[in-house]
Amino acid sequence: MKIVEVLTSSGLTGFYFDDQKAIKLGAEADGFAYRGEPMTPGFTAVRQRGEAISVQLVLEDGQVAYGDCAAVQYSGAGGRDPLFLAADFMPIIMAEIAPHLVGQELDSFRRLAGELETLKRPNGDNYHTAIRYGVSQAVLAAVALAKRVTMTEVITQEYGLPLVVEPVPIFCQTGDERYLNADKAILKRAQVLPHALINHVDTKLGVHGEKLLAYVTWLKNRVIELGDPVYRPVLHIDVYGTIGLAFKEDITAMTEYIGRLGQAAQPLHLRIEGPMDAGSKAGQIKALRALRLALQAHKIDVEIVADEWCNTYADIVEFTDAQAADMVQIKTPDLGGIQNTIEAVLYAKQFGVGAYVGGSCNETDSGGRTCVHVSLATRPDQMLAKPGMGVDEGYMIVHNEMNRTLARLRYRKERETV
């Protein structure tokens, strides 16, 4: 089975592009928008609509496989590729990527994805991570159609992985509606929540950390109030470096504060993502490792999750090798081709580091569904409900795709044993 045509169309994502630098430096919220001038190259506003490019591969038998090129909410920050606008990149896909795809035999996802990952632009540059992400999704879907199996099975077969017919924990994120949307996640019985978007010291963390401490206390009590005796989700909160800012990067003070957060969360387990932003990859690895070792020395049972400066597969290898975090977020669009997410999960697990198939609220339903198959095949500790920040939609997309796939896999296994 071969690819006979490539189609593209512009699309919208499940959230927005946000200028992280401008927000961290005090851009004022104005309803759902932000006031102030953007500070990251390419942005025309502090918050602007998220854009995507849908890539459709037409196969010889008329079947169509698709994937969506999308970039993370905080594009251009923390060493990431620049802002991804559909009008800028659709012509590149059609002129430079499509000719390489047309006529390709759909015999191996790994082969095709590997070729695309190493393909260079005429000037020698790499293609934007969003392009590699979306096109590789389409290729994975196309190989699955050609072989008449699920994308999960393509991955397990090509990577020599066991096929485990069990769900993977789903992580719901609340966005700024961290109270109302936490209720939604609890009612849906999400296994991990709430992310909470703690990206500003004064308004969200508190200058002494008091606002986040009060929120964790409320959240623990809310789980007990709305949940049931057996529902004990993991609390996973992304603080975007604000703990480091509030406590002046003092590891001792940060350790003591995170210990208080962990006590407030009990009996629930707590993870803190991105406690500081050291401004460089080397600095971040050093700082996270120091914090992790300090927490271990004080027997504080709170996990540290690497986020900023841990963007590519090579970055994940470095953070893992340094044992700089208990868990790495694998931000799927930032890694480029989806095969890099597969390999990142496997690498982290090999060396005893937790793997979180994350990504961004600023993706599309296609990315969310594809990552379900990656997760079912590679078995990370958790995967993100995406796209969006509203809980319901992202959780529905990921949860339903997971259960549909598991039903198909169980059906096939049952037939094979008859």
Complete DSSP assignment for 49-116: EEEEEEEEEEETTS-EEEEEE---TTTTSTT------HHHHHHHIIIIIHHHHTT-B-S-HHHHHHHH
> What's at 386, amino acid-wise?
K
Cα separation, 245 vs 34, in Å, equals 22
Nearest alpha carbon to residue 16 among 54, 43, 55, 56: 43
Spatial distance between the Cα atoms of 266 and 47, rounded to a whole number of angstroms = 36
Angstrom distance (rounded) from CA 262 to CA 257: 9
* CB-CB contact of 30 with 64 (8 Å): no
Using the structure block, give the residue that is written with the tokens 């199996």: 149
Does the bond joining 387 to the residue before it have cis omega, within 30 degrees of 0?
yes
Active-site choice (331, 349, 386, 413): 331
Q: Which two tokens stand for residue 332?
A: 């799927």
Whether 120 is catalytic is: no
- Of 161, 213, 163, 137, the C-alpha closest to 371 is 137
| Residue of 97, 93, 71 whose CA lies nearest to 82 | 71
Task: Pull the structure tokens for residue 180.
Answer: 């109302």
3 state DSSP class of 14: strand
Report the chain's C-alpha Rg in angstroms: 21
Q: Quote the distance between the C-alpha of residue 284 and its chain's center.
A: 19
Q: Return the bridge partners of 17, or none.
A: 48
Question: What gap in Å lies between CA 379 and CA 160, rounded to an integer?
Answer: 13
Task: Say which DSSP state 125 is in.
Answer: P
User: Any idea what DSSP says for residue 336?
Assistant: S
Active-site positions read: 331
